């Protein structure tokens, strides 16, 4: 089976849909036309740029450049996690907690998959390493952002309970355990749900992409199962790490609840 | 015997506080809302950062693990907090005869926290704290939301514990009559100072 290559004209026809929407928005006075066009433009430019970068990266297959790319992806994901928090830790911790948690989880799981499961040669081969890491970061980011957001807002809402438990002589970990547990659970529910409905409600994007790209469906399915498990593992570990570090940071060395370490926006 | 000693205890709003409370001594504390009474008690229980030193029987707070400190130097808020649905799991360390002496049968353990009246909540919260056998009681308006009868029960309960265990007590209240009834010395916070 050969891949049908898309020409610029093909993409322009698809872009016609965006322009159609913009015109409708103008007529109906939805006020969305500027945003629609900007979003369409950004999608095009950003994806073309990343395409060029990946092309160069695949050609070079140089470990240093791949490491740099991986670092840039990590920093972008770390910023995104902190941007999604209603109440954030102040100072270095604002980005630090999410970034460290993703470093621990996404990187470990990606390296595990590359070395133990896929067995690419060399193990950092960019065709496998970059998309895998990207998918893991993108998904663990969601779990970590939800878990941390839940943790910090619950710490504020349940301050009286946590402090009553501390006042009765419970160690910080016990005083905050209900809150931590609920936060981890809420971070994990989205990935569990998407595993539940995978293939029933929607065909996952990566699998669809592989099939469109000309791969046999069973190969695409096997990769999709692999990805789902990796994402679940990465999200679980990452959310647990983030909530654990965050919970610890809510207390000082005298085990006092320090809501003043959070800033709301 | 000096049980609780505050040495230049520094918290916001107040000038450094020096205070000795002997075992078995009951100290009352009054002052306008927002004058720092609650902050003072919270600092002594080591629930908020503070400057200066707090000593229990001559040992400084920072030499004792925080959970152990708070079991011995116990803070009770005006509004009690509960985290399980049922009463029972909160009161595992409370002796059964304590519950009986307050008129609670063993069925109270099965009750839902939500159906407790404010008087019942405060009495049970007090028992929960006393089960740790604290040496210092920091009471932050313990009867503020209670009717007359509940208030008297709480005062009796505390007096009984006081006779048995001789704790040092700091009692914050807006009710001067209550403080005169239960405390030997009454301090007032005025203009950021303890007088």
What pLDDT digit, counting tens, does each position of A63-81 carry?
A: 999 999 999 999 999 998 9
Residue B188 CB-density burial (10 A; 0-12 exposed, 13-18 middle, 19+ buried): middle
User: Please, what is the end-to-end C-alpha distance for chain B in angstroms?
Assistant: 22
The distance of A247 to chain B (nearest Cα, Å) reads 17
Task: Give the end-to-end CA distance of chain A in Å, rounded to a whole number.
Answer: 53
Spatial CB neighbours of A87, under 8 Å, sequence gap ≥ 6:
A149, A152, A153, A156, A262, A263, A264, A265
Q: Are residues A10 and A106 in the same domain?
A: no
The mean pLDDT value for A101-122 works out to 93
A14 lies in which domain range?
1-60
Model confidence band, residue A61 (pLDDT cutoffs 50, 70, 90): confident
Question: How close B126 comes to chain A (CA, Å)?
Answer: 11
Do A74 and A99 meet the contact criterion of CB atoms below 8 Å apart? yes
- Check if the interface score ipTM surpasses 0.85: yes
A161 touches chain B (CB under 8 A): yes
Six-digit token pair at A118? 């896929």
CA distance B74 to B56: 12
Find out whether A147 and A187 touch, Cβ atoms under 8 Å.
Answer: yes
Contact across the interface for B83 and A165, Cβ inside 8 Å: yes
Residue A170: band (very low, low, confident or very high) from pLDDT cuts 50, 70, 90: very high
Asked whether residue A65 is domain-assigned, the answer is no
Q: Does residue A224 fall inside a structural domain?
A: yes
Residue A200, domain member (yes or no): yes
A130 and A42 in one domain? no
CA distance A97 to chain B (A): 24
Distant-in-sequence, close-in-space partners of A189: CB < 8 Å, separation ≥ 6: none
Averaged confidence pLDDT in chain B: 93
Rounded CA separation A16/B6 (Å): 76
Nearest CA in chain B to A177: B83
Asked whether residue A6 carries a pLDDT value surpassing 90, the answer given is: no
- CA torsion sign for B108, B114, B115, B118 is positive
Higher pLDDT, A4 or A233: A233
Percent of chain B having pLDDT more than 70? 100
Nearest Cα to Cα of residue B41 among B68, B59, B67, B17: B17
Residue A201 confidence (pLDDT): 79
CA distance A115 to chain B (A): 45
Query: Which distant-in-sequence residues (6+ apart) come within 8 Å of A221 by Cβ?
Result: A207
CB within 8 Å: B76 and A168: no
* Contact assignment for B82 to A161 by CB distance below 8 Å: yes
Mutate: best of B53, B64, B81, partner A, most A CBs <10 A: B81
Tell me the CATH number of domain B2-194, given options 3.40.50.12280, 3.40.50.300, 3.40.1280.10, 3.20.20.120: 3.40.50.300
CB B71 within 8 A of CB B134: yes
- d(CA A189, CA A187) in angstroms, rounded, equals 6
Using CB atoms within 10 Å of the CB of residue B105, give its burial: 0 to 12 exposed, 13 to 18 middle, 19+ buried: exposed
Instruction: Count the alpha carbons within 13 Å of B120 in the hemisphere toward its beta carbon.
Output: 15
Instruction: Give the end of a domain, one of A38, A60, A82.
Output: A60
Best B66, B85, B92 residue to mutate vs chain A (most A CBs within 10 Å): B66
Q: Distance (Å, rounded) from C-alpha B186 to C-alpha B189?
A: 10
Element (H, E) at B20: strand B17-22
Q: What is the largest CA-CA distance in chain A?
A: 71
Do residues A260 and A190 both lie within one domain? yes
Q: Which residues pair with B187 in a beta bridge?
A: B29
Over 60: is that where the pLDDT of A1 sits?
no
Q: Give chain A's domain count.
A: 2
Burial of B40 from C-beta contacts in 10 A (0-12 / 13-18 / 19+): buried
Q: Going by C-beta distance under 8 Å and a sequence separation of 6 or more, which residues neighbour residue A23? A: A33
Q: Cβ A167–B67 below 8 Å, yes or no?
A: no
Residues of B in contact with A172 (CB under 8 A): 66
SS3 A246: helix
The size of the A-B interface in CB pairs under 8 A is 57
DSSP 8-state symbol, A6:
P
Both A136 and A250 in a single domain? yes
For B41, phi then psi, to 5°, come to -60, -40
Going by pLDDT thresholds of 50, 70 and 90, the confidence category of residue A88 is very high
| Tokens (6 digits) for A79 | 């910023």
Cα A69 from chain centroid?
16
Q: Does A54 lie in the same domain as A75?
A: no
Indicate the pLDDT class of residue A2, thresholds 50, 70 and 90: low
Residues A231 and A191 sit within 8 Å (Cβ to Cβ): yes
The reply to whether A31 and A87 lie within a common domain is: no
Mutation pick from B44, B83, B132 vs chain A, by most beta carbons of A within 10 Å, is B83
Examine the fold and report which residue of A39, A60, A81 is the final residue of a domain before the chain moves on: A60
Based on the domain organization, do A5 and A49 belong to the same domain?
yes
- Confidence (pLDDT) at B114: 94
> Same domain, yes or no, for A93 and A223?
yes
User: Which tokens go with A221?
Assistant: 């399915």
pLDDT, average across residues A120-139 = 91
Residues A98, A216, single domain; the answer is yes
Q: Is residue A147 assigned to a domain? A: yes
pLDDT digits (tens, 9 = 90+) for B158-195: 999 999 999 999 999 999 999 999 999 999 998 888 88
- The Cα A211–Cα A90 span in angstroms is 45
Section B39-46 average pLDDT? 96
Report the gap between the CA of A163 and the closest CA in chain B (Å): 8
Q: Where are the domains of chain B?
A: 2-194
Would A20 be classed as within a structural domain?
Answer: yes
Instruction: Note whether B36 and B7 are within 8 A (CB).
Output: no
Query: How far apart are the C-alpha atoms of B39 and B140, rounded to whole Å?
Result: 10
Question: Whole-angstrom Cα distance, residue B173 to residue B31?
Answer: 8
Six token digits for residue B26 = 């009951």
A43 and A74 fall within a common domain: no
Nearest CA-CA partner of A138 in A185, A209, A77, A187: A77
A215 Cβ neighbours under 8 A, 6+ residues apart: none
Tokens standing for A255?
Answer: 């085990």
Shared-domain flag, residues A28 and A151: no
- Helix residue ranges per DSSP H, A158-176: 159-167, 172-175
Q: How far apart are CA B26 and CA B20, in angstroms?
A: 11
Q: What residues of chain A, 176 to 205, have a C-beta less than 8 Å from chain B?
A: 178
């Amino acid at each position: 089976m050969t891949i049908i290559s898309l020409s610029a004209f093909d993409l322009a026809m698809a872009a016609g849909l965006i322009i159609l929407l913009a015109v409708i928005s103008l007529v109906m006075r939805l006020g969305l036309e500027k945003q629609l066009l900007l979003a369409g433009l950004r999608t095009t430019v950003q994806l073309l740029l990343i395409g060029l970068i990946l092309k160069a990266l695949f050609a070079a297959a140089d470990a240093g450049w791949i490491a740099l790319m991986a670092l840039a992806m990590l920093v972008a994901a770390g910023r995104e996690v902190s941007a999604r928090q209603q109440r954030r830790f102040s100072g270095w911790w604002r980005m630090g907690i999410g970034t460290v948690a993703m470093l621990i989880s996404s990187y470990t799981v990606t390296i595990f998959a590359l070395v133990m499961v896929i067995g690419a040669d060399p193990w950092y081969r960019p065709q496998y390493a970059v998309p895998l890491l990207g998918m893991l970061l993108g998904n663990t980011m969601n779990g970590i952002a939800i878990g941390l957001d839940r943790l910090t807002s619950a710490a504020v809402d349940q301050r009286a309970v946590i402090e009553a438990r501390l006042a009765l002589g419970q160690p910080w970990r016990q005083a905050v355990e209900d809150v931590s547990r609920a936060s981890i659970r809420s971070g994990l529910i989205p990935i569990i749900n998407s595993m539940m409905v995978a293939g029933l409600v929607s065909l996952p994007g990566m699998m669809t992409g592989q099939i469109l790209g000309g791969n046999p469906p069973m190969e695409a399915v096997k990769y999709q199962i692999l990805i789902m498990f990796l994402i679940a593992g990465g999200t679980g570990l990452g959310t647990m790490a983030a909530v654990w570090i965050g919970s610890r940071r809510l207390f000082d060395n005298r085990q006092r609840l320090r809501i003043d370490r959070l800033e709301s926006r | 015997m000096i049980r609780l000693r505050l040495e230049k205890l520094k918290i916001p709003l107040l000038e450094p506080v020096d205070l000795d409370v002997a075992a078995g001594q009951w100290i009352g504390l009054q002052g306008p809302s927002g004058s720092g009474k609650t902050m003072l008690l919270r600092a002594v229980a080591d629930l908020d950062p503070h400057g200066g030193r707090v000593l229990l029987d001559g040992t400084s707070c920072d030499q004792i693990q925080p959970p152990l400190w708070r079991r011995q130097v116990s803070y009770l808020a005006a509004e009690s907090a509960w985290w399980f649905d049922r009463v029972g799991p909160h009161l595992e360390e409370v002796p059964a005869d304590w519950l009986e002496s307050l008129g609670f049968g063993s069925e109270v353990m099965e009750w839902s926290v939500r159906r407790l009246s404010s008087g019942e909540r405060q009495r049970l919260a007090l028992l929960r704290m006393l089960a740790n056998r604290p040496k210092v009681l920091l009471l932050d308006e313990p009867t503020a939301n209670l009717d007359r009868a509940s208030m008297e029960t709480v005062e009796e309960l505390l007096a009984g514990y006081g006779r048995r265990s001789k704790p040092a007590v700091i009692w914050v209240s807006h009710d001067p009559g209550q403080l005169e009834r239960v405390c030997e010395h009454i301090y007032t916070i005025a203009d950021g100072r303890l007088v």
